[in-house]
Amino acid sequence: MSDPRPRQKRTQMAISDLGNAAFVKTISSPELAKLGGAYQLGVLLGKVDGVVDRTDKKDGSTYEGLSGLFLMCPADGTAPELFSGVLFIPDGPHEQVASKFRAMKASDKGAVIEFAFELSSVPDKSPQGYSWKFKPLFAFVERHLLDDTIASVGKLQSKK
């Protein structure tokens, strides 16, 4: 993205790093309707090359995350972009990405999956009063880790 905002590196990221999703609960129905029924938090871009596990220190639960390269661009134009090599996202979108990655990785050890989601929060009847909305900005892109390098070398060789 060509946004001039500074970038902050994180050891790991979660969707909550994008901003206050609960803010959607304070927006009046008419205002929320003007916003399309959702409070936009930002955009998440990713290139997945593996999975990682995290264990909750309080209860010992294990959570699977994604490894690779990830960039969060908050909708709040004053907030810095965030990037990390580890990402934890809710189960639904995580499984969409991770299952595609696992299937590709089974036949290609250099597999990577690229994705982009627009993230919003929407009011719902859950105890927290909102849920996440992940809107894909394009279909998942399945690539080999060296595709860009191979293409660059090919262009250099053709100039000879």
pLDDT tens for 17-44 read 988 888 999 999 999 999 999 999 999 9
Residue 68: name the closest of 101, 90, 99, 37 by CA: 101
What φ, ψ does residue 17 adopt, rounded to 5°? -70, -15
Output the six-digit token pair for 115.
């994705």
Query: DSSP secondary structure string, 139-155?
Result: --EEEETTHHHHHHHHH
Length of the chain as a residue count? 160
Q: Pick the more confident residue, 159 or 139.
A: 139
Q: What is the mean pLDDT of residues 106-131?
A: 91
Task: Give the number of other CB atoms < 10 A from CB of residue 32.
Answer: 17
Percent of the chain with pLDDT over 70: 94
Assigned domain for 2 exists: no
Provide the pLDDT for residue 160: 56
- The answer to whether 11 touches 84, Cβ cutoff 8 Å, is yes
At 156 the pLDDT is: 57
36-83 pLDDT, tens digit per residue, is 999 999 999 999 999 999 888 899 888 899 999 999 999 988 889 999
Residue 25 burial (10 A CB sphere; 0-12, 13-18, 19+): middle
Average pLDDT of the chain, as a whole number = 88
Per-position DSSP letters for 6-75, written without gaps between them: -EEEESSEEGGGG--GGGGGGS-HHHHHHTTTSEEEEEEEEEEEEEEEEE-TTT--EEEEEEEEEEEEES
Q: Which residue has the tokens 């500074």?
A: 6
Residue 1 lies in a domain: no
Give the domain extent around 67: 7-158
Residue 1: pLDDT band with limits 50, 70, 90: very low
Give the other-Cβ count within 10 Å of 111's Cβ.
Answer: 20
User: Among 30-34, 58-62, 127-131, 156-160, whose mean pLDDT is lowest?
Assistant: 156-160
pLDDT of res. 13: 93
Task: Name the domain count of the chain.
Answer: 1
pLDDT at 111: 86
Give the pLDDT of residue 10: 93
Mean pLDDT of 111-131: 92
* Residue 73 domain flag: yes
Q: What is the pTM of this model?
A: 0.82
Average pLDDT over residues 111-128: 92
